Each structure stands twice: as structure tokens, then as C-alpha cells.
Chains A and B, each alone.
Chain A
Amino acid sequence: MIPLKYNIGNLTARRVSTLMTILGIGVVIAVMISMMALQNGVRSAVVSSGSKDNLMVMREGAAAELSSWVTKDAFRIIRAMPGIARDSSGAPMISPELVIIFKIPKKDDPKGSNVLVRGVTPQAFTMRPYIKLVEGRMFRPGVNEVIVARRIRDRFVNTGIGDEFQFGTQKYSVVGVFDAQATAFDSEMWCDADFLGQARKREAYSSVILRPNDRDAFESIKAAIKNDNRLKLDVKSEYQYYADQTNGLFGIVVLVTIVTVFMTIGAILGTMNTMFSAIASRGRELATMRALGFKRRTILLSVIIESAFISLLGGIAGLLLALPVNAISTGTTNFVTFSEVAFNFRVDSRVALIGILVALTAGIVGGALPALSAARMPITKALREI
């Protein structure tokens, strides 16, 4: 085998073009990683929300909470069903929720966006223990106080603690900021359900979330609600509800796929091009090595290793270039709920690994043809060349 030192020597001998190749591949991989980070962020802001243990009750055929309603009578019927778990204080774990969208001006867009406002009771927090108040205090029941997700506070006008904003005829005052671990609730504002209902003149709730005792209770409550003709309600797990919403984000999936495919092809062609140039300029050198007794196979391997190494460096460069996108916090609209989805670009280990693997693959695939042509070069012809 040809020592790796030889490959490294080659790369340093053509310093400028090596660096340019690394940067070129780096840019490609950075774009790809950023796009995957975007998709990752959006996915985690939608799909990874909601628990598989919770049941979510909505009107039949409603695609989102916004277009659903559950009357107070229906809520009482459901609450009386057997099999609902109880919290430490003995209260049933069932949470009626009212969802409304508010159009609020954004810091970078005075026209504003739709923010989902959720009216809840204290049970909503018991059922989603990962939601933590990080600043200020909890809203009090019956008054115009709201708590705001950190990501919403960062992007919308007048949503910090102590601020007041107007919506319709009602003023709302912000008393706390919460963090929901990058789930869909991180794009929401929460306040008291009864107050919100009165303020927006809503008689019914939008949805009811409940926690069954165990798997059997899960199925029996599901069946009981579905089969009750008075209710006309639909039940699925809270997790499933959020997973179904990805339909509204189809555009982003299309985009990420397009970018990934093209960037991979670009990276392959790019390495191929530079590796051809790299071996073209040392035809005599390679021929000398063949004359010295190195096998074709050895030369082939050596060129592929060199190509893989250079694109691996490119991949790492790309990852480094892409890391700053982690700081970008932005938003899009889910076209099922028509409300803002706030998300952060997320470069996690999976995305980083895919980026580097794609770079490595591009290096091996892109290096294969040049390596083949290097190995096949007739010795006498190459030695004669000037």
C-alpha cells in the first residue's frame, strides 16, 4: 500500500486548489445541512409534540383544533367516563381547551401573523409536565393575563412580561414566559379557558385532552366516545394529532428533498472534477510508481483515499459553516392550522452525520472514475509525456 503520507504530501503541494475544493464541497454540505436542520426544526416543532398516552377529543372530521368544537355538555359526559387517570391530588386528568388564533404584529413584519392562543385549566399543565414557566408567574384564572412561549416573545411585538397587547376589544397583559421543549406549544400563548371563552364569546371548547388509566382504558374510552351518537366526536392520541399536521408543511419537505439531491450531485461532480485535475498533473509520477512495482489496485485505492480524505475535510468544513444556523429562530405557517410555527434550525448529531457521510460518499464516488483512469494509464505513454 502507498503510505498515506504520500496523499497528504499531494494535498499540501497543491495547497490553493486543495483549499478551494474543501471550501467548495464545504459550501455544498453546509447548504444541505442547513436545509435538513430547517426541516428538523419544523418537524420537532410539530411532530414531536403531544404524548402517546394522552387522548385528544375533537369534532368529527376536524383537521385541526381551530375548526373543532366540543360542547360543555359533551365535556361533562366524557369526564364522567370510567378509566380516566387521577393526579396526585385526586382530580381527574382531563383538560378542556379552547383554541383561537390572534393576529399579532411581528417584530420584522408589522402586518403580523396568526398566533395560536390556548385557553386552559390547571390540568393542562399536569398533563404536559415538560412545559415550564421560565420567567414571571402563572396567569390567574378569570382575568386577562396570558403567558407566552419564549419563541413567540422573541418574534412578536409587545409580548414580553409587563407588556399589554390589544386583540379585538380586549386588552391582554403578559405575566409569564414559558418553554415547552421545542414542541408545538412553543408557538402558542396560554391563558385561562373561561376568560378566553367569555372574551371571544365562545360557548364550546375546541378540544378535550385526557389521560386514561392504562392501555385497556385507552381503548375503552376511545370506543365509548366514538360510539356515542350524542357526541359526534372523534378521538386520537395527542401524538397522532400533531403527527397528522405535517400535511400542512409539505412545501418544506419538497424543498429539502430538491436541495439535498442537487447538492449531492454537485458534490460528486465537484470532487470528480478536481480529482481528474489532480491526477492529470502527476501522470508521470503515478507511472513511475507503477514502474517501481506498485500494483494498479494500489494506485486505485490511493487515489480514492485521497479523494475521500479531501471531501471528508470538505464535509467537516461544511458542518462548521452550518453550525451558526443553529442560532436562527424563525417561523413558518402550518397550512392546516393557519397559525405560526416558530422553530429553530436544529443541527443535531443525525443531521451532522448525514452531511459528513454524504461528503464522504461524494468523495468515494467522485474519486472512483479518476482513480480508474489513473490506474489504467499505460506506463510507457505516461512516462514519455512532458
Chain B
Amino acid sequence: MKFAKLIRRNLFRNKVRAILTMLLLAVIFFFVATLLAILENFESFSNAGEGANRLVVQSAISLANLLPYAHEEKIRQLPGVVDTAKLQWIGAYYKEKSNFFANFAIDVDKMPTVFDDYKVDPKEFAAFAADRRGALVGRDLMTRFGWKVGDRITLKRQIFPFDPELTIRGTYVHPVQTTSVFFPMEYFQQSMVNKGQVGTIWVKVKDPKQMSAISQQIDAMFKNGDAPTETFTEKEFQQNFMSMMGNVKLLFTAVSSCAIFMVILLAAITMSMSARERVTEIAVLKAIGFEQRLVLGLMLTEFVLLTVIGGAVGSYGAHFIYAFVDMGKVTQGFLQNFGIHTKTLAICVASSAAVGLIAGGLPALRASNLRVVDGLRRVV
């Protein structure tokens, strides 16, 4: 590490240039980290039911078609099925349309068996189960709207012809899914003209290895009836929702790559500038016995350091900003539980190092290969 001082002095030989380059990298990696985190955020949603061994049965015809209650009875009797619960997505909103969050009508008595990963205080759950218009609300949603247990809330209709009037009876905790509202299925059914129909049936399976077999069995059972079904694992079901948005992954990857490409180009200009400026210096270093490889190594270290500092400032900056800013609120619920995780940070820092190597490689190589006499002769 005896060269640390040399590298440091060279790094900041032109302060403005060094700081600008770092700033540029910081901005771009802040951006890239944000995009990657959004993708990761979406993916984490599809992993919401990990380990919960749940299947989701919905109509094969379309999202807008409902399934008859009778289906549930038949599914429950299949071997390997622990229990089933009916769930209906309501799509109502609170006060303003932009206050978007998921709200469901559910078989309350089945929550402890089928949705056992949603943790609720037993007393609160008992109160929720006892109230025909009770609501169970995710912890983060409670904070978002400043609700307390006991509050009365009215949701506004969007799809079904009723405005749910609910009393909050409890809060649930879940590692991923923290911003939903659940209320009793019976309350929803009262509003329906064609009673006894529901959008999805959730099936708890005993053995994860049996998931695909049971899923096929269910679809085969209703294939030729009036209401054919399509059964997914919970993960596939969530992924379907994400894929409905279009190819977000491709879009984000393309945008990130373009941003990084731009940084490489602009960093290369700075670095070749900085290499050209010190041709004489390098010739002196080589003249007093520094090997060519060592000179190259020193310059590359400097360039990589430059970009890594920028990249780290950007991605860690994003990390801290998103830790303090409630992105759920800023994006009106579009991003929930948003944050930049270690994996994203690592990817960003590694890519910024790569930017340094790619952009600085040629200038450094050219400078270190220069013959001593040429270098000393040259006047910059």
C-alpha cells in the first residue's frame, strides 16, 4: 500500500474533473439502483406466498368471470388438500381513486388455516371474526392512512355495486404483503345479484411436491363444465399480474444498459484526458525504474477507484434516501416496501468498477506503453 498516496494525489489532481465524474456516476447509479430495486420489488411480490403451499383457482374464461361455490366443496375433498378459502378482489378505494391498495372479501374462518403466514394477534382476530363488517388491515396500510384499530372506514366502489363500510378490528403482519384490507365474504355476497359466486379459490396443499399434480387434477375436474378453471401456484398467479404490465424487465434492462453505456463513454473521455496530461510524469516514473505493469496497475486502480466511489455514493445514497422517504406514499401505493437491498448494492458497485476498467483500460494501456524517450520529449 505504499502507493496509496500516489494514487490519491493522482485521483484528485484535477479536483473539478474528479468530482464531476464521480457525481455523474453517482447520479447514473442512483438511477440504475432504483430501476433494479423496482424490478426486485415486483419479483418479491411474486414470492409473497413462498413456502405457504397455496394454489389459486380462477376461471379459465377470463379474469372477469366468477366461479360457483360448488367448486370449492369439490376441491376440498381432493386428497392432499388441507383446506380452501374463497377470496374476492374488490378493487374499491379509500376517498380518492389514487389511494390504491388491494382489498379482498375472504372466508374469515379459513384464514388461520389457508393464510397462516398472515400473523394476527389472537384477540384482534377474534374481534375481526365476530364482526360481520370487520376489517383486517396490513400494518403498513394502517400507517399510510393513519388508521387505528376501532376506526370506521368507508371504501368506494369501482367494480361491485356496494361501498364497503367497515370497522377496523385488527392488524396483520406479513413479510411481503403489508398493505391489504380483508373483510368477510358474506358482506360482499349480500351486494351481489348472482349470489354464490367468487373470483378465486385458494387451496392449501399439504405437500409441496403434490402442488402440480393437484393443480392438474383440479383443472381436469372442471374442464368440460360451465365454469372451467385455471389453477396456478401463488407465485405464478402473482407473476401473471406482473406480466400483464408488459415486459417491464426488458424495458428496465434496456434503459439501465443505455445509461451505463453513456457513462462509459463520458468516463472514457475524462480518463483519456487525465492520462494524456501526465505522459511526462509517467515517463519519469518509468525512467526511475517503475515497471510498465506497475504503472498500468496504478492507473487502472485510480480509474476504478474513481468510478467505484461514484457508483457507491449513488447506490448507497439511493439506499439511504429510500430508507427515509416513504415511497409508498410518493408513488401512491405503486411501490410498497420499497428499498435497495444488498444484492442490488453489490451489483451496482461491481458494475461501476467494470465501468472504470472498460473506460480507463485503453487510456491507461496507451499511457503506460509509451516509450520513455517519447514521453520525456513530448510537451503537452
Contact = CB atoms under 8 A, between A and B. Distances in A.
Answer yes or no: do A and B interact.
yes
A66 B334 contact: no
Nearest to A17: B269
A276 B270 CA distance: 9
A114 interface: yes
Contact of A262 (B30, B228, B273): B30
Given A24-B265, A113-B244, 11 more contacts: A17-B273, A27-B265, A62-B158, A64-B159, A259-B255, A273-B24, A276-B16, A280-B14, A330-B246, A331-B246, A332-B244
Contacts of B276: 281
B268 interface: yes
Interface string B348-376: 00000000000000000000000000000
Leading 4 A-B pairs by shortest Cβ distance:
A333-B244, A332-B246, A24-B265, A262-B31
A87 interface: no
Interface string B1-39: 000000000000010110011011001101100110000
A258 B24 contact: no
Chain A interface main SS type: helix
Contact of A31 (B255, B268, B380): B255
A351 interface: no
A25 B160 CA distance: 50
Contacts of B28: 262, 266
Contacts of B153: none
Nearest to A277: B273
Chain A interface size range: 35 or more
B61 interface: yes
Nearest to A336: B158
Interface stretch (A101-109, A133-141, A183-191): A101-109
B259 interface: yes
A21 B266 contact: yes
B98 A247 contact: yes
B342 interface: no
A111 interface: yes
Contacts of A373: 16
A63 B98 CA distance: 13
A162 interface: no
A64 B332 CA distance: 21
Interface string A38-74: 1000000000000000000001111110110000000
B246 A386 contact: no
B96 to A, nearest CB: 10
B161 interface: yes
Contacts of B266: 20-21, 24, 270, 273-274
B17 A277 contact: yes
Given A67-B160, A254-B334, A332-B245, A269 B23 contact: yes
A276 B244 contact: no
A143 B334 CA distance: 43
A168 B243 contact: no
Contact of B245 (A30, A251, A273): A251
23 contacts: A20-B268, A24-B266, A25-B262, A38-B251, A61-B158, A66-B64, A67-B159, A102-B61, A103-B61, A113-B244, A168-B228, A247-B97, A254-B334, A262-B31, A269-B27, A270-B24, A273-B270, A274-B266, A276-B16, A333-B244, A333-B245, A333-B246, A373-B16
